[in-house]
Structure 1
Amino acid sequence: MTDTAATDRPRIEPSTRVLLHDLGIRRDRDEWIVGRMATRTFVALPAAGARAVELLGRGLSVARTAELLREETGEELDITDFVRDLAALGFVARIGDCPVPDATPPRASLPWLRPRAVRFALHPAPAVLVGVLLAAAVAVLIHRPDLVPGYRDLLWSPHGSLVLLTGAAAGWALLFAHELAHLVTARAAGVPGRMRLGTRLQFLVMQTDISGIELAPRRHRLTAYLAGIALNLSVASALVLVLAVTDTGTTAHRVLAAGLLLALLPLPFQCMVFTRTDLYFVLQDVTGCRNLYGDGRAYVRYRFRRLLRAPRPAGAGDPSVRLPPHERRAVRLYSVVLVAGTVACLAFMAAVTLPADLTLLVRAVRGLGPDQSLARTADSAAVLVTLGGVNVLWLVTRWRNRRSRRSAGVT
């Protein structure tokens, strides 16, 4: 049987030269991050691999590249296979005289937002402003502890439907602003970025894919990761300052207090690094890990197979031993957090969240009967739309994202 794909591939001879797409490269510890921003594809290469990319990019032939690398490293490297790997990643535009088919680049959110227009986001001034606002808010709260928010502040109106609807509207607006902060700072660093809905365990989230930020300097990377948290802290700090000059007991004061709590509520979630939150990416960057979550999951599966004495495929040993020592330590520690956090979240959902949601939904359905008052019917309808809509959206989003991963061959 003839392998059609193999016959369609351009032949790579020792004299073959390749044309690479526009690639970015950055040194990271003992490796080099090489990637193509247009397709958001990135790979970590050893020094010899990065040097091979440089030589091929300069127009040197396969044979000449191998010869120079042999002189520099003392090793015989298979540049032919290396070129094929680069082509599979979408890094090669042409091999010899043959163009290499290119994938359609993923769409960016808000493509009209140009890096030059948002360059200010990477300036130190916004970070200083956030610090000043936060310090002022803390000083006010120390002087006025009565402004510290509590859960009762969310119940700013006696009408439950009004509380739910305004809370949902404000919550989604803050969530959009949070993700927009990530997008703006990434775009300022030249990264396209894309916002979309996603799921983290039982949580429905909005997430921003800023793949490509790996090529930026560390300060820019950390700024992009922490931009959303900074946005929430800035909004909360500003609300504290406004609350301090607003008469207590007024509707305006109650609404502002509810807004303050809504701005602060997402911050504890950011500490749940086992769900790949903003702080997870900070942790991954600081520890120098390539894929902390993926490697952590692989290590957990390995430990569970050993614990259950399940049969293992040939060669399926401890996946963490292949990692550099600093990554191995981080992955093994993270795996403990991953298991403990996931179990705690799912247990909380089973014991608290799910029963509470079901109770509210059952009450809402009963409140739609013909013998109910107009106010009770409206209140029940608002609960069904708000709570039921969020759960349906979670199911649709999870199904859609899983289907997309399967189509891309990602497990």
Structure 2
Amino acid sequence: MTSAVRPETVTLFPLHIGEVEDGAAEVGRPETGVFVSLPEQGIEIIRDLQLGLTLGEVSANFARRYGEAPDLDDFLTALRDCGFVRQVGQERFDDGPEEVGAAPVPQMRGWRLFATLPAERVSWLVSRPALAAWVAVWLAIPAILLARPDLTPRGTDGRIGLGVAGDAVALTILTWVLLLGHEFAHLLVARARGCSGVLRISHRLYLLVAETDMSSVRSLPRAKRYAPYLAGMTFTALALLLSLVMRLSGVDSQPIPAIAFLCLTTLLLELAFFMRTDVYYVVVTWLRLGNLMTDTWHFVGNQLARLLRRPRRYDLSTVPARELRIIRWYSLILVVGVAVFIGQFVLFGLPLLVSFVRDSVTKIASGPDTVGFWDAAVLLLLAVAHFGVLGVVALLRRLRPVAEGAR
């Protein structure tokens, strides 16, 4: 039966529909964190469905406006895959695909910290004086480093002086304290904007990280999203600035230089916007894009299928033309960036890791009455913990996809 004569109605979950910009608007469910960019034609279909019109009436309205009938089956399938459809006719879907082989709907999973905190209690974080202070932090750092280039963090600053094992443990603890502070800043500023997020452990390729899902921020006007996205980097910049000020004041003993080194490393890593870093979300917001990363990987997959003379795996027909042009350019950055990132690990990091494991096993064989035994044991334990947790996190993320807004 064609959609033109179908009497069914479609019930959607409550959806946020943003303003139409460049012929497209963002549509999503803030509670699941799933947002997509749809052209105006798709928005009109959704609004007709929300009015309770039958599929036949929706099809007739579309044909009257654009001179041709829409492919409602494909459109509904796409909405269904996003978890936007509650019911079609008598068939109820609840909160996601249940049929065998269906793609799981991305979700906001993790620890919902500060979700019950009243927004007005932290609204001062996005007040004009606070935002001016944020800018001052960012301006102060290059000013200090230009005046005192000798304070620029270096790799040797990571040596705290506690011995090999002691330094490794101390740096691991400092790294995670700073990472959690970075993510708490995201959560608090998102709450100040009236949104909430979830904290979880995730990964950036082979790096284990803490991650905040702020998908609900996409329900805000674009101008108000920058503060939540930049809050984490600003916290890290503040920690770096305090470390530099302490060194200027004569407090130059560890772990102050180590903290400065870790902060600078974190900020530089955020520039790698071929991954879902803070800078990636700022760029996506500034360029008024939808699901850039996901759509780009789909585009790359289609290009590979084309080279192999196989059918396309992904339908990108609903992606606005303007975004498709950006995706073509971004796909080059994405593929090259990921290749370089993984390549440098394979060429340099992996041989170093293998050498480290071999030396550690040799030291452990020397017996527990030597210092080398305990250094090697602690380092091996940290390495196993890192890659073990990384493997579990990567597997869970593959089985249970997260929303585009997870950063």
Asked whether the 8 Å contact 1:287–1:330 carries over to 2, the reply is no
Corresponding residue number in structure 2 for 1:8 = none
Please provide the CA RMSD for this pair. 3.6
- Counterpart amino acid of 1:218? R
Q: Secondary structure at the match of 2:274?
A: helix
Pair 1:242 & 2:246 matched: yes
Q: Sort the Cα spacing of 1:337 and 1:101 in 2 relative to 1 into closer, same or farther, 3 A.
A: closer
Asked whether the 8 Å contact 2:273–2:280 carries over to 1, the reply is yes
Q: Secondary structure at the match of 2:203?
A: strand
Counterpart-to-counterpart distance in 1, 2:376 and 2:24: 58
Pair 1:209 & 2:202 matched: no
Indicate which of 227, 233, 236 corresponds to 2:231. 227
Pair 1:102 & 2:106 matched: no
Alignment of 1:37-116 (within 5 A): 37-58=30-51, 89-91=82-84, 100-103=92-95, 106-107=108-109, 109-114=111-116, 116=119
Identity of aligned residues (%): 26
Calculate the TM-score normalised by the size of structure 1.
0.79
Corresponding residue number in structure 2 for 1:297 = 297
Pair 1:185 & 2:180 matched: no
Counterpart-to-counterpart distance in 2, 1:88 and 1:352: 40
TM-superposed CA distance for 1:360, in Å, is 2.1
Asked whether the 8 Å contact 2:24–2:38 carries over to 1, the reply is yes
Q: Secondary structure at the match of 1:198?
A: strand
Q: Sort the Cα spacing of 1:394 and 1:64 in 2 relative to 1 into closer, same or farther, 3 A.
A: closer
Counterpart-to-counterpart distance in 2, 1:220 and 1:281: 13
Q: Sort the Cα spacing of 1:327 and 1:62 in 2 relative to 1 into closer, same or farther, 3 A.
A: closer
Q: Sort the Cα spacing of 1:140 and 1:21 in 2 relative to 1 into closer, same or farther, 3 A.
A: same
Corresponding residue number in structure 2 for 1:342 = 338
Counterpart-to-counterpart distance in 2, 1:20 and 1:321: 22
Greater relative contact order structure (CA < 8 Å, 6+ sep)? 2
User: Is 165-174 or 188-197 further displaced after alignment?
Assistant: 188-197
Q: Sort the Cα spacing of 1:213 and 1:257 in 2 relative to 1 into closer, same or farther, 3 A.
A: same
Counterpart-to-counterpart distance in 2, 1:40 and 1:377: 47
Which segments of 5 or more consecutive residues in structure 2 lack a partner in the other structure? Answer: 97-106, 403-407
Corresponding residue number in structure 1 for 2:16 = 24
Asked whether the 8 Å contact 2:296–2:327 carries over to 1, the reply is yes
TM-superposed CA distance for 1:244, in Å, is 1.3
Counterpart-to-counterpart distance in 1, 2:368 and 2:69: 82
User: Is 50-59 or 20-29 further displaced after alignment?
Assistant: 50-59
- Counterpart amino acid of 1:375? V
Corresponding residue number in structure 1 for 2:309 = 312
**For 1:138-195, what per-residue CA distance to the aligned partner results, in whole angstroms no more than 9, with x for missing partners?**
3333333332221111112051222111100000111112222223333344443222
- Counterpart amino acid of 2:43? A
Corresponding residue number in structure 2 for 1:9 = none
Alignment of 1:317-328 (within 5 A): 323-328=319-324
Q: Sort the Cα spacing of 1:185 and 1:108 in 2 relative to 1 into closer, same or farther, 3 A.
A: farther
Counterpart-to-counterpart distance in 1, 2:401 and 2:84: 22
Asked whether the 8 Å contact 2:23–2:320 carries over to 1, the reply is no
Aligned residues: 386
Counterpart-to-counterpart distance in 1, 2:360 and 2:318: 54
**For 1:329-357, what per-residue CA distance to the aligned partner results, in whole angstroms no more than 9, with x for missing partners?**
32222222222222222221122111222
Counterpart-to-counterpart distance in 1, 2:322 and 2:378: 51
Q: Secondary structure at the match of 2:153?
A: coil
Q: Secondary structure at the match of 2:132?
A: helix
TM-superposed CA distance for 1:110, in Å, is 2.9
Corresponding residue number in structure 2 for 1:330 = 326
- Counterpart amino acid of 1:183? L
Q: Sort the Cα spacing of 1:121 and 1:300 in 2 relative to 1 into closer, same or farther, 3 A.
A: same
**For 1:114-142, what per-residue CA distance to the aligned partner results, in whole angstroms no more than 9, with x for missing partners?**
35143334434333212212333433333
Corresponding residue number in structure 2 for 1:6 = none
Corresponding residue number in structure 1 for 2:255 = 255
Corresponding residue number in structure 2 for 1:285 = 285
Corresponding residue number in structure 2 for 1:4 = none
Asked whether the 8 Å contact 1:178–1:228 carries over to 2, the reply is yes
- Counterpart amino acid of 2:33? R
**For 1:179-214, what per-residue CA distance to the aligned partner results, in whole angstroms no more than 9, with x for missing partners?**
222233333444432222223322222222222332
**For 1:10-39, what per-residue CA distance to the aligned partner results, in whole angstroms no more than 9, with x for missing partners?**
xx975x766654321102331222222223
Corresponding residue number in structure 2 for 1:383 = 379
Q: Secondary structure at the match of 1:212?
A: helix
- Counterpart amino acid of 1:351? L
Counterpart-to-counterpart distance in 1, 2:16 and 2:315: 29
Corresponding residue number in structure 1 for 2:156 = 152
TM-superposed CA distance for 1:259, in Å, is 0.8
Corresponding residue number in structure 2 for 1:369 = 365
Q: Sort the Cα spacing of 1:145 and 1:46 in 2 relative to 1 into closer, same or farther, 3 A.
A: closer
Counterpart-to-counterpart distance in 1, 2:73 and 2:365: 73
Asked whether the 8 Å contact 2:197–2:212 carries over to 1, the reply is yes
Larger radius of gyration: 1
Counterpart-to-counterpart distance in 1, 2:293 and 2:203: 15
